[in-house]
Structure 1
């Protein structure tokens, strides 16, 4: 006999397992909706946790760059001092070596500073100029010797290097005793 649920009479002819099936269907739909809601909640929480982890990584990377720069600044100062001594001793090979060292380390410092504190455009320009003038001085010394030539060739580079060192020391003073603000990411 076919089952017709539309009539009241048909409800009386359902077997016990059919009643259980109907009950599970009625209960199953809300459970399915509740399961979807739980899944959505977990996905939202996972997304929030992922964003928090990304922010923590960004802050940590910024702090590492800042720490690297703080270590490099005294090295740059030492290179500038040794460059002055090499010029005073009229040693073209040493002068060229320290000009090259300056260019290498100052370039790294410039890259770190541009990521750590990009608002310091003035200091980034000073570093860039010192690198450029150090390269020009090195090129002019390539085939020349003599104290007058050495001093003349390096005068602009020395001034630019001193200016960059001074700017870097100001940055170091401003940043050496503070950790990057936690509020940046909040």
Structure 2
């Protein structure tokens, strides 16, 4: 019986510590980085899709499942299945977004952001911002992953080659179907 309890405890710990797939608040726990744009759009209330600077697709969730959340912006890579690689959650002005982040990720270290351990094959980072000249009523939690073939991946890999970016932008110019159904 002792061994059985020990095995259960180890499995529970391993599942919760090493198998973490969701880095999102409870309202978005069904999301995973790398999901195709189409998969995300079937689960969420996404409005118009927009191609930004020929390297990503963005979409707004205008009906989030929480009264604390004002809106959610999803960012997808432009190539292949257009994978989800970043989510910006704008909370209502009276919500303490820093506390939400601490509850999700723990206290951050010396960095301005959280560098998260991941069971995924890519790095995951998160940060909050409450002042931004571009975002009205900024009170945001941003969670991003360096999913391959996205701008975030190139940045994380420190690939700064003009040739690599030019190739991605050229391919992005030719994309006309945003969030294709596969």
Identify the structure with the greater strand proportion: 2
TM-score, normalising length: structure 1: 0.24
- Considering only CA atoms, is the larger Rg found in Structure 1 or Structure 2? 1
More helix per residue: 1 or 2? 1
TM-score (norm 2): 0.24
